[in-house]
């Protein structure tokens, strides 16, 4: 797309660690030493199995958690330390997150118009009630909902409609960075396509960058400029979409790509995917360092593993 | 599969309206679905087409602002002593359904896991609850079975996870906990509403495998609501395509994927992302779904259908029978209609899929 790789990145994450201490004997290392950058106008796809730490990265970036370690720079500003009230307010509009579980992130007692209009209200981004309504109706239409929907409560929607309310809420403020966490997973293919096309249009118009978290690799392939593959909190492989899809190096990435289902019943009923099990793989993620494959393509592993992976 | 087919669920002419401040929303407009023992049926269709509402009606858990205008939902099961029973769910009250049906004989995996999990209770307790309530299972036994189920849905460190609260789990883990809860009481009918949307393909495959195994072992019936046609291709025996509160096409899996007849089904299949193409923009079905607040006469899909006939704006098409198992509600199937073919791109794609299938040694 029109991603701008020359200037400074809109988001730089360096050595991010996010640990959760669940009990005295159980600490979850949800994110372990992860670094990546996103440039203005770029879409960075974050993929990986359930529980690999994708949402946690998103939530750390918008500062729902205090990072255990690491540095997060947004638009040139270090946001991993304490931030002032005014910076925090600016941040809340410039960076938006579309949450994975729409029911849990939408206030059940608020009408949809007030949920979507909240950002407008805080920033007094309209001069009259009718302008507010017009803005809300316009964004509703863009995500495929009707003006009549605005007076309903979240529970009065279908799952996919609710997901689109979350999308509309994030898009209405024209943020610089949108963290989209599985934001289209509950949508049928046609509306998925509509929303993805809409996100691309908005990116063209405003130069917004996306951190696109998803497990659906065919959609990630379609929307992303670059991709990062996450497993057990480690960012194992990153590169442009073509680099990853045409030359997956890490065995985990390879198993992930081989498991993409095809919409062909006879084939699908007979197919088995390449299997991968970390425990029996003999790999140790904590020992890995970034190895350069080509272009912007890197793999995290040891020297010996790198030789093995690339010898194929 | 069973020799003499036993019908387990029979939904007939279901019609439901919701009261809202903006007026009545006619969400379900005459749905018919049947399901036999041991079979898997998929319901696919656009967001808002009525898939979840239909199944919530079958579970007796519709929202308070709903009105059932007509219909029956017959569910057949056996008592503990083996005597058969058939009930119309719509005539039973919530309390009776909760005691005799929900969780025990019919279990549903909800689309939005947070709505069915209690945020203040550990997930272990939540999985054990049903077994203890319905079957008076001793605590230790329920605990063991819960741990076993967590392992089966692919959650590592299962014992430790038993003590987690829902917010301490990832989205996909929560979804799997809901699946574990649904399987805990060995239901006869499992309804999965987008059960694997938040799951990556490897774990999705594992869950599908698990459900299939349970199905083989115990002969249960499964309804999958999903927009993921890859999943449908993998699991379903029969497919119902829903549009604006109606089933517009039904057939066995090969009929729907290789010989679709309804223009909406054509659109749905065309909109599937295809790894083999590099199009800059994805195909979408033009227009937007009908506003269920303002009903119009005729075929609800007509305004978005480039193959629509004049008749479509006047009269609603009936279901036309194509084969014993395949039928579709479109006037294009009327003998008097002009001959219309599916879009060329879709035709090519289906040809390609058929070839791939043949090359793989399968007969169609
Ligand atoms: N608040 C928390 N307390 C304790 N553990 C947590 C918390 N939030 C996340 N975790 C744990 O961190 C790990 C990563 O979770 P995360 O939600 O980031 O996964 P994910 O990659 O988004 O997975 P999914 O695809 O299933 O949504 C999981 O093991 C989860 O249980
Ligand atoms: N309580 C309610 N009040 C008003 N309208 C409702 C209510 N519940 C559902 N609806 C409407 O009924 C229609 C069907 O909803 P349903 O949840 O069955 O859709 P769905 O096919 O499951 O869609 P999705 O794929 O998005 O989950 C939608 O248009 C929805 O907005
Ligand atoms: Mg997540
Ligand atoms: Mg639904």
CA of B164 to the centre of ligand 2 (A): 31
Q: Residues lining ligand 1, CB < 6 A?
A: A 20, 22, 28, 30, 48, 50-56, 100, 215; B 167-173, 198
Fold annotation for A11-310: Rossmann fold (3.40.50)
Q: How many CB pairs under 8 A join A and B?
A: 213
Between the alpha carbon of residue A185 and those of residues A191, A241, A307, B154, B251, the distances in Å are 10, 20, 37, 20, 26
Q: What is the DSSP string of B258-297?
A: HS--SHHHHHHHHTS--TT---SS----SS----TTS--S
Name the average pLDDT for chain B. Answer: 89
- Predicted confidence (pLDDT) per residue in B25-77, tens digit: 999 999 999 999 999 999 998 888 999 999 999 999 999 999 999 999 999 99
What is the rounded average pLDDT of the residues A34-61? 94
Pick from A152, A160, A182: which is nearest to B171 by CB? Answer: A182
Split at pLDDT 50, 70, 90, the class of B234 is: confident
B315/B241 Cα distance (integer angstroms):
20
pLDDT reported for residue B1: 46
A21/A133 Cα distance (integer angstroms):
45
For A71, counting Cβ atoms within 10 Å of its Cβ (0-12 exposed, 13-18 middle, 19+ buried), the class is middle
Residue B291 forms contact with A (CB below 8 Å): yes
Torsion angle of the four alpha carbons A228, A231, A234, A238, in this order, in degrees rounded to the nearest 10: -20
pLDDT reported for residue B303: 83
Contacts of A160 in chain B (CB under 8 A): 47-48, 227
pLDDT reported for residue B158: 94
What is the rounded average pLDDT of the residues A54-73? 94
| Residue numbers of B between 68 and 87 with CB closer than 8 Å to A | none
Asked if B280 and A222 touch (Cβ cutoff 8 Å), the reply is no
State phi, psi for A245 to the nearest 5 degrees: -75, -30
Which residues sit opposite B23 in a β-bridge? B20
pLDDT reported for residue A24: 85
Q: What angle is formed at CA A61 by the lines to CA A60 and CA A66, rounded to 5 degrees?
A: 40
Torsion angle of the four alpha carbons B13, B14, B19, B24, in this order, in degrees rounded to the nearest 10: -30
- By three-state DSSP, how is residue B73 classified? strand
pLDDT reported for residue B161: 94
B315/B237 Cα distance (integer angstroms):
31
Residue B173 forms contact with A (CB below 8 Å): yes
pLDDT higher than threshold 70 for residue B136 = yes
Residue A108 forms contact with B (CB below 8 Å): no
pLDDT higher than threshold 60 for residue A53 = yes
Contacts of A264 in chain B (CB under 8 A): 233, 257, 353, 356-357
The nearest CA of chain B is from the CA of A111 a distance in Å of 11
Asked if A46 and A230 touch (Cβ cutoff 8 Å), the reply is yes
- Predicted confidence (pLDDT) per residue in A116-141, tens digit: 999 899 888 899 999 999 999 999 98
pLDDT higher than threshold 50 for residue B2 = no
**Which atom, in ligand 2's list, is nearest to the CA of B50?**
18
- Predicted confidence (pLDDT) per residue in A135-168, tens digit: 999 999 888 888 989 999 999 998 888 888 999 9
**Residue A82 token pair:** 């304490």
Q: Among A68-77, B1-10, B48-57, B348-357, whose mean pLDDT is lowest?
A: B1-10
- Predicted confidence (pLDDT) per residue in A17-30, tens digit: 999 998 888 899 99
Name the average pLDDT for chain A. Answer: 89
Picking from B224, B228, B274, B282 by the largest number of A CB atoms within 10 A of its own CB, the best residue to mutate is: B282
Dihedral (CA of A302, A304, A310, A312) sign: negative
State phi, psi for B9 to the nearest 5 degrees: -135, 135
Dihedral (CA of B94, B142, B40, B83) sign: negative
Asked if A119 and A125 touch (Cβ cutoff 8 Å), the reply is yes
- Predicted confidence (pLDDT) per residue in A157-199, tens digit: 988 888 889 999 999 988 999 999 988 877 777 778 788 888 8
Which one has a higher pLDDT value, B201 or B76?
B76
What is the rounded average pLDDT of the residues A256-266? 73
pLDDT reported for residue A78: 92
Strand ranges, E, within chain B: 7-20, 23-36, 40-45, 66-78, 84-88, 106-109, 189-193, 221-225, 238-243, 246-252, 320-321, 327-328
Residue A162 forms contact with B (CB below 8 Å): yes
**Residue B364 token pair:** 């169609």
HEC secondary structure over B136-194: CCCHHHHHHHHHHHHHHCCCCCHHHHCCCCHHHCCHHHHHHHHHHHHHHCCCCEEEEEC
Contacts of B253 in chain A (CB under 8 A): 265
Over its C-alpha atoms, chain B yields an Rg (Å, rounded) of 21
- Predicted confidence (pLDDT) per residue in A214-244, tens digit: 877 878 888 999 999 999 999 999 999 999 9
pLDDT higher than threshold 50 for residue B233 = yes
Strand ranges, E, within chain A: 11-23, 26-38, 43-47, 69-74, 77-78, 95-98, 177-181, 209-213, 226-231, 234-240, 289-294, 297-301
Between the alpha carbon of residue A43 and those of residues A38, A167, A204, B34, B328, the distances in Å are 8, 16, 11, 44, 41
A179/A183 Cα distance (integer angstroms):
9
- By three-state DSSP, how is residue A133 classified? helix
Split at pLDDT 50, 70, 90, the class of B297 is: confident
- By three-state DSSP, how is residue A312 classified? coil
Contacts of A54 in chain B (CB under 8 A): 170
Residue A218 forms contact with B (CB below 8 Å): yes
Tell me B336's DSSP state: T
pLDDT higher than threshold 90 for residue A306 = yes
**Residue A36 token pair:** 């990546």
Q: Of all residues in chain B, what percent carry a pLDDT higher than 70?
A: 94
pLDDT reported for residue A62: 92
In terms of Cα–Cα distance, which of B114, B92, B9, B91 is closest to B55?
B9
Q: Of all residues in chain B, what percent carry a pLDDT higher than 90?
A: 59
- Predicted confidence (pLDDT) per residue in B205-226, tens digit: 788 888 988 898 888 999 999 8
Which single residue is written with the structure tokens 């996306």?
A: A210
Q: Residues lining ligand 2, CB < 6 A?
A: A 156-161; B 18, 20, 25, 27, 45, 47-53, 63, 65, 111, 292
Residue B359 forms contact with A (CB below 8 Å): no
């Amino acid at each position: 797309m029109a991603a701008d790789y020359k200037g400074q990145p809109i988001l730089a994450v360096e050595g991010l660690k996010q640990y959760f201490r669940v009990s005295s004997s159980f600490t979850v290392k949800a994110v372990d030493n992860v670094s990546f950058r996103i440039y203005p106008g770029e879409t960075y796809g974050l993929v990986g199995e359930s529980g690999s730490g994708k949402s946690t990265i998103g939530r750390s970036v918008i500062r729902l958690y205090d990072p255990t370690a690491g540095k997060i720079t947004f638009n040139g500003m270090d946001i991993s330390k304490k931030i002032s009230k005014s910076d925090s307010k600016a941040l809340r509009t410039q960076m938006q997150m579309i949450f994975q579980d729409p029911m849990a992130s939408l206030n059940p007692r608020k009408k949809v118009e007030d949920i979507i209009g909240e950002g407008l209200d805080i920033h007094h981004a309209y001069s009259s009630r009718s302008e507010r309504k017009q803005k809300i109706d316009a964004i509703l239409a863009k995500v495929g909902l009707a003006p009549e929907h605005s007076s309903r409560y979240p529970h009065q929607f279908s799952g996919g409609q609710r997901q689109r309310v979350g999308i509309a809420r994030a898009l209405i403020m024209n943020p610089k960075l949108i963290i989209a966490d599985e934001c289209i997973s509950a949508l049928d293919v046609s509306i998925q396509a509509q929303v993805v096309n809409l996100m691309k249009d908005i990116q063209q118009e405003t130069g917004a960058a996306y951190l696109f978290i998803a497990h659906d690799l065919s959609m990630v392939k379609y929307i992303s400029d670059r991709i990062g593959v996450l497993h057990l909190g480690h960012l194992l492989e990153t590169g442009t979409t073509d680099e990853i899809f045409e030359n997956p190096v890490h065995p985990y990435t390879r198993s992930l790509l081989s498991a993409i289902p095809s919409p062909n019943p006879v084939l699908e009923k007979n197919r088995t995917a390449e299997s991968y099990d970390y425990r029996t793989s003999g790999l140790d993620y904590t020992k890995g360092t970034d190895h350069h494959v080509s272009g912007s393509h890197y793999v995290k592993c040891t020297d010996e593993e790198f030789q093995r992976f690339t010898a194929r | 599969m069973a020799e003499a087919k036993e019908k387990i669920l029979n939904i007939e002419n279901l019609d439901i309206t919701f009261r809202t401040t903006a007026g009545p929303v006619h969400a379900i407009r005459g749905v018919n679905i049947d399901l036999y023992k041991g079979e898997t049926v998929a319901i696919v269709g656009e967001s808002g087409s009525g898939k979840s509402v239909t199944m919530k009606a079958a579970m007796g858990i519709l929202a308070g602002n709903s009105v059932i205008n007509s219909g029956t939902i017959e569910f057949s099961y056996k008592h503990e002593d083996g005597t058969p029973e058939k009930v119309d769910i719509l005539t039973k009250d919530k309390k009776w359904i909760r005691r005799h049906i929900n969780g025990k004989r019919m279990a549903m995996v909800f689309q939005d896991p947070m709505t069915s999990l209690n945020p203040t209770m550990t997930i272990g307790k939540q999985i054990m609850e049903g077994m203890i309530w319905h079957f008076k299972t001793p605590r230790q036994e329920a605990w063991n079975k819960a741990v076993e189920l967590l392992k089966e849905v692919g959650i590592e460190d299962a014992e430790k996870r038993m003590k987690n609260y829902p917010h301490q789990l990832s989205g996909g883990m929560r979804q799997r906990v809901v699946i574990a809860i649904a399987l805990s009481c060995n239901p006869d009918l499992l309804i999965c509403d987008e059960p694997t949307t938040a799951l990556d393909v490897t774990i999705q495959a594992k869950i599908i495998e698990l459900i299939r195994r349970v199905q083989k072992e115990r002969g249960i019936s499964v309804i999958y609501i999903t927009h993921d046609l890859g999943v449908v291709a993998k699991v379903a025996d029969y497919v119902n395509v829903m549009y604006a509160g109606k089933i517009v096409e039904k057939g066995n899996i090969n009929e729907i994927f290789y010989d679709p007849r309804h223009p909406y089904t054509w659109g749905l299949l065309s909109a599937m992302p295809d790894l083999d193409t590099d199009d800059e923009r994805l195909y979408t079905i033009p227009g937007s779904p009908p506003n269920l607040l303002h009903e119009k006469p005729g075929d609800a899909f007509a305004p978005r259908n480039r193959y629509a006939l004049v008749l479509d704006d006047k009269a609603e098409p009936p279901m036309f029978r194509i084969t014993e198992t395949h039928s579709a509600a479109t006037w294009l199937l009327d003998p008097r209609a002009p001959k219309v073919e599916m879009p060329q791109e879709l035709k090519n794609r289906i040809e390609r899929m058929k070839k791939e299938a043949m090359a793989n040694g399968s007969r169609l």
